[in-house]
Amino acid sequence: MKNQCFNPYLPSWEYIPDGEPHVFGDRLYIFGSHDRFNGTQFCQNDYVCWSCPVEDLSDWRCEGVIYKKSQDPLAKPDSIMQAPDVCQGPDGRFYLYYTLGLMPVMAVAVCDTPAGQYQYYGLVQYADGTPVGTRDHDLFQFDPGLFRDDDGRTWLYSGFGPAEDGMFAAACRKYRMEGAYAMELASDMRTVRSEPKLVCSKTGTHGFFEASSMRKIDGRYYFIYSSQLGHELCWAVGDRPDGPFSYGGTLISNGDVGLSGKPLNYTGNTHGSLVSLGGQWYVFYHRQTNRHQYSRQACAEPITFADGRFQQAPLSSCGLNGGPLSGDGEYDARIACHLWSRDGALFYGVSGTPEADTHPYFTQTGKDREGDGDQYIANLQDGAVAGFRSFTFHDLQQIGVDVCSSAAGQFTVSTAPESAPICTIPIYPCQEKTWFQAPAEDLSGEHALYFTFHGSGIAALHKIRLLCA
């Protein structure tokens, strides 16, 4: 690769959640919804697409806006377009599926290329022309997942699994919202050939909530979804594209829940899927920033697949890099994969969490899509921790932090959350970004680094610097 890869793998000012990875030709494309920095609700921006060569996962290119909400005849100025997916049809063209706001219907747009200018095509419909979602007690369409099988048949997966006694109680009585459904599409890519079939129920701890996606591996069908827990992507497996599917396990949690005794990062909803590149499987997901779920960013991790099963992937700072980062260099604090306060981490509510005021968080300078690359960790108070995984060191000599803060105290640096420090960096109040550095214990090999702030006041961490002999 030309450069190292980090998490998040797109520029610091870009907020793409719900990423579906697809390889078309020699490029990997990410189709997701589009959040706004410091947004006030989900998915407020028009769809953009990013892509990179399959042989260089560091070389991401913005393909620009591929579809505007104003192109949908049902859209209003404040409408949002939720998580989309794209599938190549039998005619060679590319079809983009999405839902608008909380409408029960699903729209389709079409384009001659994967990341060109899509044009509105119509609503997903039954054979008689009735839009799916408009019949009495019909399927509530949400978070499409598209899959074209080896036999040329195309399947649409859709559904939502909210609590029946919560904010969607009335909708649960009006629509089918029991989980994920499968429907076969006709060759026109908008007419369903089969009635919606429930393939993944919302019942149980790891029951379906949202984010349908399908992959076929070694002749079996792997259904990927976000569970009732919210912070995790799960997988289920079956022998047919329309199920039944048996629960397999967790692909990833955006708080590493399940790999540790407590969340190691601020959690919230997640959505994504899998792709195989050069024999290595990767899981794509998103993280939360700015103390709420409305400014989410795209991340990815290598994941182990063996004997028909996936092992839960741990969060990392290096993601698509193919291995640890160099232990000699300067890095943005935004690539921290673990973050918590002295009181631990939180699950962010959809509109923010009041108690989050005492917790650190990722944020940026500038307005939406106008950032200068200066995304940083804000609100580090006494006992807060930022963790980076991982680096390869050769005789580590010194560690530095770039800080702007009212804080006085020190950062201790260790290779694990509760291990002895290898470096202690005193800091003092500074109105502008200032580098503080200190000698570190000689360190070689692969290690994580955890920066813990001890002191008074509030620190903002912008960068870290590692110096080897």
> Which of 18, 20, 256, 332 is flagged as catalytic?
18
Question: Is residue 144 reached through a cis peptide bond, with omega within 30 degrees of 0 on the bond before it?
Answer: no
Which candidate, 231, 280, 221, places its Cα nearest to that of 251?
Answer: 231
Exactly one of 35, 85, 143, 210 is catalytic; which is it?
A: 210
Specify the 3-state DSSP secondary structure of 355. helix
Q: What is the DSSP letter of 116?
A: S
Whether the Cβ atoms of residue 222 and residue 281 lie closer than 8 Å to each other: no
Tokens linked to 435: 């580098």
- Token readout for 205 is 């701890």
Based on the residue annotation, tell me whether 18 is a catalytic residue of this protein.
Answer: yes
Spatial separation of the C-alpha atoms in residues 87 and 67, rounded to whole Å: 15
CA distances in angstroms from 402 to 104, 201, 239, 336, listed in the order given: 48, 48, 53, 14
Within 125-279, strands assigned E span: 145-148, 154-160, 179-185, 197-201, 208-217, 220-227, 232-238, 246-253, 274-277
Give the contacts of 30 (CB within 8 A, at least 6 positions apart). Answer: 16, 19, 20, 21, 49, 50, 51, 284, 298
Instruction: Provide the terminal-to-terminal Cα distance of the chain, rounded to the nearest Å.
Output: 25
Nearest to 177 by CA among 161, 195, 156: 161
- Buried b / exposed e along 55-80 (16+ C-beta atoms within 10 A): eebbebeebeebbebebbeebeeebb
Side-chain-side CA neighbours of 165 within 13 Å: the count stands at 0
Is-catalytic flag, 446? no
- H or E element that contains 284: strand 280-289
The catalytic site residues sit at: 18, 210
